[in-house]
Structure 1
Amino acid sequence: EWLLKRSPRLLLTLQVRKVALLLALIPIIGYALITGLNPPAQRALLMTLVFMGAILLDRQWCSLNNLAIAALLILTLDPPALFGASFQLSFAATAGIIMLLPTLQNHYQEIRGSASDQREGRPAVIIGRKVLFWIGASLLVSTVATLVTTPLALHHFHRVSLLSSLTTLLATPPLFFLTLPSALAGLALAALNLPGGAPLLLLSAWGVEFTTAITGHLAALPFSFYYLSPPSPAEWGAWLGLFGALLLYRRQRFWAAATGGAMLLLLLLLPALEQWRRGQSSNSRVTFIEVGHGQATVVELPGNRTVLVDGGGPATLSTDIGEQLIAPFLRHRRIRRLTAVVISHPHADHYNGIPFLLRHFRPQTLWINGQPGVSPDYQTLLRTATDLGIEIAVPSGGEELVSRELKEGGTARLYNLADFHRREGGGNSSPEDSVNDQSLVIGYQHGDFLFILPGDIGMGQESRLLAELETTARATVLAASHHGRRTSMDPAFVATVAPRYIIVSDDERRTDYRRVAKWQTMGAQTLTTGRDGSITCTVAGGELTCQPAIRRR
């Protein structure tokens, strides 16, 4: 528009502003295509097109209406986008900024209208005030966007950033004033086979590296972000009340401040109330988490005590099972600390997710079978536990690991059933089978209900377990030994234990469903994490139920 206004002829013959908008469509659409048209880019493009259409048609426009139209168009084309983190975060942040914008505009007009300093011949003061205002406004806008998206970020990612406003202030200028212009100009010159494209692209790459270094250093700070549980329904209500108070602040400052303060207090009290409720509960909950080929069992005892028995997944995965699967489950259950962690034996599919959990859930004790393991990762895990001040202990046969008195009488206790880990091998020639046969065999007793978690022991150790436990061998829930492999789950063992439920923790492709069908005919309801998802067994009111996450018809 500024260039077109330089020509008096164009000013006399054309509506310069509308022509400028039409010409601007080309780079706007081109940039949106370059970014891949992800939800934030779609939102920005559609809002811009609606804004341009309003001006071209001489209609009034409203930012919130533009935002709503953009959301409607995106959801019309892709309804499932409503449930995506990108869509929700982008539109929530934009809505918050739009609602704040009038206040910022009014304040900026006050600064522009302040002519007293200009009449006194002090333009430097005006420039300084404008610079400070824009810095403050940038921080404020970023803070509002962060505040508005905090419950969504907690819901999707279980963490909140404390330095996002500062990161945005430092990282945005080099991106918008250096990286993007030089990249677009370099691509244009390269496409036209003109000189100068390569230096511009190198400059753009330097801008990306500079921005990445800034964000990396800030993210590495110990207080840059915190992991928290996703909001409960009551906490969602408190967040909405807080946002409503912010919207009313310009009109009803007293009531808005009172409501906002009450909502903040509620957000602080609700987690404490939840922890108190968990402490008063006399129920037990045992969850077999779906981790693929691996084992991760969370035992929630009465009195807000939680133990993780094994925590590993496929060794071939590049992602951290502890960070990506087990920790989100614990936070969803609003578990802040682990009372103890048990590693049945040093195979990666039973421990490779535990280092992250040791650092973030700080158990008091790490129970292991005492075998050295063959992987350096296992030794690193043990050193991590030592550095964190976590006690490392090897249980003996029959030793109680965690217990809790029940209100109705009796005890809920987690204990080690056998001392196979203190014996040499298990009569197997294979070193791999020898390590498996030295697994800790964990039992969890709540009243009349017994859970047996036998690790990866084979048929020989199963027979020894029956002989040593004698009449106490019957269990209500049995985790399939060694993921239900042919070398484990001897029919005689299954028949003697006579479980009501058998839980197989393994990838669906590895599960032997012929054996599953056989166990079903023996009277055991068999659930597999590969097909049924995470499986939760609850003991409450003298009853036990096991429910899969995926209900099959």
Structure 2
Amino acid sequence: MKRPLVPIVIFYLVGVLTAHYHLVSLPVVLITAAALFLVFIAAFLYNEKFLATFSALTLFGFLGYLMLYPNTPIKQAQSYISTVTGGKRINIEGIIDETPQRAKGRTRLYIRDVTVHEKNCSYAFPGRIQVSIKRAHMLFRYGDRIRFFATLKKPKNLQNPGGFDYERYLAYQHVYATAFLADDRGLIIIRSGEGNRFLQFIEELRHRIRESLEKQVPSPSRDILKALVIGEQDTIPDQIKQQFSRLGLSHLLCISGLHVSIVAWLSYLLGMSLLRIYPRFLLYINAFKLAVFFSIFPVLLYCFIAGFNIPTMRSAIMVICYLIALLLGRREDLLHTLFVAAFMTLLFIPTSLFHLSFQLSFSAVLALIILVPRWRSFMPEQEKDPFEQRNPVLEKCRHLFRDSFLASAAAILGTAPLVAVSFHYFSFLGIFSNIIITPLVTFLIVPLALLAAFVLFLMPGLGTLLFSTAGVLTDICLNCTAFWSRIPSVEIKLGTPALWEITVFYLLVAGFTFLWKTTLRGCVFVAAVSFILLEGGLLFYAQAGPGLLRVTFLDVGAGDAALIEYPQGQTMLIDGGGFMDENIDIGETVIAPFLYHQGIKQVDYLVLSHPHKDHAGGLPYIAENFRVKELWLNGETGAFEAYARLMRAAQHKGIKKIYCSAKTSPRSIDEVRIDFLAPDDIALKGSNNDQSATNNNSLVMKLTFGTIQFLFCADILQDAEHRLVNENVPVEATIIKAPHHGGISSNTEEFIRAVSPQVAVFSCRSYGTLMLPHPDVLARYRKGGATIYQTDKNGAIVIETDGTTYQVAPHKKEADG
């Protein structure tokens, strides 16, 4: 077998995926692996090549399972963790295990060797904990032993289709509990220097580089250079990240194989230049291999200075594997070298498979290796006229532009499905922006910044000058990206592609590449046209609507958010959830991924029932990134950033604002009648500290489709409920979104009798000592005969109706009758 590692890696990946999705239990794997090992021995002894090969490859699959299994959530530890995450404050001691992360005024620490202290005893905590500090005034370092009081919580996912698996993400970092501190006043640094001595030395170097950048280079150029040199991306402004994302340049903001390769290349050039100083020395050694060998050490140093986190470690492994291949004389077999690097990476860090950076790096390099040589063959060189004199500089520039264009195109096509899954866009300028910006960053900014970091410790003045020069070049780069990102239609929004769509896309790329010059070219063209027509038909069907009314109550924690999909395809989002801490954008992290998963790129109507953070938090991101026609409001204004941002987005994008109250005439959307039941009148005033008044002014809407009625009560309290009942407002409904998350200050018995719902949905999550929904409220709805669904237990709750009957489909089936 010419490239044995290709099938080995494939089988190994299957094993890792089997462990990731818990498709097979560990005992079954161990018993089957033992039996298969005996089969392999027998096949090998009897010279059964096919059976021996297949058995060996399957054993590599089992190896992948066993390598990932210890990183999956530890069930034995979960029962113990539950005893210390029960809501009480406990005394915690541990050692900071990574460089503290600082972003948006918040500090995040990862603590290992955790000990929980109680009155009469102390005991160790399994794994690590993640501590978030909202306002930190102390300077924390890697290796500090700290002690503090906090309430530990088990990580918990928000259960929505297409949602991010936060629990597994933390478990793969051996983090099994989280804690939050408002400030660091109650936190004590017992002593420092308890980490690895070498890593502490590296951390001191990183600290000096960080200080120099903060003094010499202004933001945001400073933030870009910190990301490129020491791997700290947390301080990069969101606007800059969005600009790079729109242009397909996000890979430049994180240390990847590209940056590490540049370090290796520059180190090789420096080594060759030094060796040429003594020509006679070249008679006794292989200069090429010696320069390649010594370039490994700058690569390792750069990776340590960059934090040596998992993406950096992975990049180092891949580049070092390639350098070793050069030392062994395997420079031509790049595909085999790539799979060696992938196998080594996944062998030592099996969780890398689920990191987007690994997926993008591997797919981009694989596309470069496979596609670019084939595409070059489509453009044969013209025969040179011996009497024609060509400018060699122009010829080199022509070849450089051609190769850059082909490489950029191959990388973009190779990563396009992954980008669509993760970022939901395709950038039309990606090919051209990469041709210009990527060389500027990789061949000028990165080398200058790295040289400045090295020189800083020997000649501080020169290091400062080099950092300033790199900052100027970064400013130029940022000005270009800011200008290009403002070009209209620079990108198209995409829904989350299905697995079959990704497979067909890659098959078509391969077909055009390898079959275009064969007689099967027509078949490939017909397949491509058929695929485009099928996608167009699916899009038309989605926009036309299924003829049903679908309401999805999203799990957004303690807030409210409901998506309405009307029978003919129009959509409405009622509230957008949110947290008291506005640093977490629930629109970006929860609601938008769900919409993309559903293939929704336009939200025709946004509704803000009242200006509270737990209802408005996610709406600004939706208004900024989706096509929205109207914004419905109750008239009150909010004095917090999310509300102000929503208003700015509405003005910037020309979204029509409509103020609604009980005096507003009913609306009809796709044969669904919408009645506005509250507030009594439009409250054109600012919300104040009286939370009850704002809650009672919530926009209450009733949707009627055939004989099925939905009542959305927002956060109205008893006063508003009494008014609705006493004024004989028609509140009766089949399904009710229970008022105020099921709080005891709402949901009176008389209101529940007036509504008489068959289904009660609670958008809720208990926190601290506040239980939501309140047990008494649940008892009232049960007494009224309603089936109860809660987003904290059931996750997203989908209710679909044809106007006569309805079906309830919770994300997690845990209904309460």
Which band: TM-score by shorter chain? Answer: 0.7 to 0.9
Q: Quick check: 1:306 aligned with 2:568?
A: no
The amino acid across from 1:70 in the alignment is A
Q: Quick check: 1:455 aligned with 2:714?
A: yes
Q: Which residues in structure 2 correspond to 1:122-137 (within 5 Å)? A: 122=389, 125-137=391-403
Whether the 8 Å contact between 1:508 and 1:529 is mirrored in structure 2 is no
Match of 2:431 in 1: 165
Whether the 8 Å contact between 1:189 and 1:197 is mirrored in structure 2 is yes
Match of 1:155 in 2: 421
Q: Quick check: 1:98 aligned with 2:369?
A: yes
Match of 1:494 in 2: 752
Choose the corresponding residue for 1:288, options 553, 558, 565. 553
Match of 1:64 in 2: 335
Q: Which moved more, 1:221-230 or 1:310-319?
A: 310-319
Separation (CA, whole Å) in 1 of partners of 2:794 and 2:502: 29
Choose the corresponding residue for 2:740, options 466, 482, 496. 482
Choose the corresponding residue for 2:767, options 509, 516, 519. 509
Q: Quick check: 1:433 aligned with 2:692?
A: yes
Choose the corresponding residue for 1:446, options 701, 705, 709. 705
Whether the 8 Å contact between 2:718 and 2:745 is mirrored in structure 1 is yes
Q: Deviations over 1:402-433 (max 9, x none)?
A: 3444xxxxxx43322345235999xxx98432
Whether the 8 Å contact between 2:676 and 2:702 is mirrored in structure 1 is yes
Match of 1:546 in 2: 808
Q: Deviations over 1:73-129 (max 9, x none)?
A: 222333333233222211111111111332477699948xx6646x65x45x22202
Q: Would the alpha carbon gap of residues 478 and 333 (structure 1) be closer, same or farther in structure 2, given more than 3 Å must change?
A: same
Q: Deviations over 1:187-237 (max 9, x none)?
A: 222234576222222222333333233223222323332322121344324
Q: Which moved more, 1:159-168 or 1:483-492?
A: 483-492
Separation (CA, whole Å) in 2 of partners of 1:194 and 1:157: 41
Q: Which residues in structure 2 correspond to 1:4-23 (within 5 Å)? A: 4=275, 7=278, 9-23=280-294
- Residue ranges of structure 2 left out of the alignment (5+ in a row): 1-271
Match of 2:476 in 1: 210
Whether the 8 Å contact between 2:512 and 2:524 is mirrored in structure 1 is no
Whether the 8 Å contact between 1:275 and 1:304 is mirrored in structure 2 is no
Q: What SS does the aligned partner of 1:29 have? A: helix
Match of 1:409 in 2: none
Match of 1:408 in 2: none
Match of 1:27 in 2: 298
How far off its partner does 1:41 sit?
A: 4.4
Q: Would the alpha carbon gap of residues 49 and 485 (structure 1) be closer, same or farther in structure 2, given more than 3 Å must change?
A: same
Separation (CA, whole Å) in 2 of partners of 1:218 and 1:423: 42
How far off its partner does 1:454 sit?
A: 0.8
Q: Deviations over 1:310-339 (max 9, x none)?
A: 234235313544444333322322224334
- Residue ranges of structure 1 left out of the alignment (5+ in a row): 406-411
Separation (CA, whole Å) in 2 of partners of 1:54 and 1:309: 57
Whether the 8 Å contact between 1:364 and 1:390 is mirrored in structure 2 is yes
Q: Quick check: 1:86 aligned with 2:357?
A: yes
Name the structure with the higher helix share.
1
Separation (CA, whole Å) in 2 of partners of 1:547 and 1:17: 65
Q: Deviations over 1:441-463 (max 9, x none)?
A: 11123344322111111112213
Match of 2:540 in 1: 275
Whether the 8 Å contact between 1:483 and 1:505 is mirrored in structure 2 is yes
Q: What SS does the aligned partner of 2:561 have? A: strand
Whether the 8 Å contact between 1:241 and 1:259 is mirrored in structure 2 is no
Q: Which moved more, 1:48-57 or 1:432-441?
A: 48-57
Q: Percent identity?
A: 29
Q: Quick check: 1:177 aligned with 2:436?
A: no
The amino acid across from 1:501 in the alignment is V
Q: Would the alpha carbon gap of residues 286 and 431 (structure 1) be closer, same or farther in structure 2, given more than 3 Å must change?
A: same
Q: Deviations over 1:458-498 (max 9, x none)?
A: 1122133234447x644332212122233212244335534
Match of 2:203 in 1: none
Whether the 8 Å contact between 1:158 and 1:331 is mirrored in structure 2 is yes
Q: What SS does the aligned partner of 1:160 have? A: strand
The amino acid across from 1:287 in the alignment is T
Separation (CA, whole Å) in 2 of partners of 1:430 and 1:37: 47
Q: What SS does the aligned partner of 1:421 have? A: coil
TM-score, length-scaled by structure 2: 0.59
Match of 1:349 in 2: 614
Q: What SS does the aligned partner of 1:388 have? A: coil
Separation (CA, whole Å) in 1 of partners of 2:703 and 2:474: 53
Match of 2:509 in 1: 243
Q: Quick check: 1:413 aligned with 2:654?
A: no
Separation (CA, whole Å) in 1 of partners of 2:331 and 2:465: 44
Q: What is the number of residues matched between the two proteins?
A: 537
Separation (CA, whole Å) in 2 of partners of 1:398 and 1:325: 32
How far off its partner does 1:248 sit?
A: 1.3
How far off its partner does 1:363 sit?
A: 4.1
How far off its partner does 1:532 sit?
A: 4.1
Match of 2:595 in 1: 330
How far off its partner does 1:23 sit?
A: 1.4
Q: Which moved more, 1:285-294 or 1:493-502?
A: 493-502
Q: What SS does the aligned partner of 1:22 have? A: helix
Match of 1:537 in 2: 799
Q: RMSD between aligned alpha carbons?
A: 3.6
Match of 2:160 in 1: none
